[in-house]
Amino acid sequence: MFAAALAAFIATFNETFLNVGFTRIMADFNIGVSAVQWLATAYILGAAVMTPTAGFFIRRFTTKPLYLITTSTWIIGGIITATAPNFAVLLIGRVIQSVGTGLLVPIGMMIVLTVAPRPRLGTFMGLMGAMTTLGPSIAILASGMILEFSSWRALCWAFTILAVICVHHRHDHRVQHL
């Protein structure tokens, strides 16, 4: 349950986390606002396209491999964004990350519906809802603090570390029943 809530938080956290660094990204890659906004637009579009496909994947794969594959897209996308030599590669990394986000929120809800005790289902669904709304709110503050002391690439590395923690926590013996 904790792994599902953490994944929901991190998924939505990443939606707005990089946005605070757009000014620095524009300067580093010598691009304008109309180009940099594609980092947010493509991310949201990618997640929106993947969300309705979650049902297909949930029916075809068991939870553990599906969870690991989708969280791995965050790590792969995070490494690509952190090391991007140009804007096109940065954009590709964001789209790869969006795949995990689009799938993990519905997968997290499915995990809650599957393992939550029926009398506490509302509490756990509320927790999942809180995690998905807290993510973007906290992301703005966290990214601002990181940018105060480092570059926009540090944001990408910070997210990648969070994704690794999410994958690692999933392997913790206490959450193997997911």
For position 167, what pLDDT does the model report?
81
Tell me how crowded residue 24 is: count the other CB atoms within 10 A of its CB: 15
CA 43, CA 66: separation in Å to the nearest integer? 20
94 by DSSP, 3-state: which?
helix
Question: Higher-confidence residue: 35 or 163?
Answer: 35
Taking the model in full, what pTM does it have? Answer: 0.86
Which of 56-60, 101-105, 124-128, 150-154 shows the highest mean pLDDT? 150-154
How far is it, in rounded angstroms, from Cα 7 to Cα 12?
9
Q: What is the pLDDT of residue 169?
A: 63
What pLDDT sits at residue 170? 54
Structure tokens given for 86? 């140009």
The pLDDT tens digits of the residues spanning 123-137 come to: 988 888 888 889 888
d(CA 92, CA 76): 11
CA distances from 76 to 19, 97, 145 (A): 19, 8, 24
pLDDT digits (tens, 9 = 90+) for 42-89: 999 999 999 999 989 989 998 888 988 998 999 999 999 999 999 999
Mean pLDDT of 27-55: 95
Question: How many other CB atoms are found less than 10 A from the CB of residue 169?
Answer: 15
Helix intervals (H) in 18-116: 22-29, 33-50, 54-60, 63-82, 87-115
pLDDT in the model for residue 172: 47
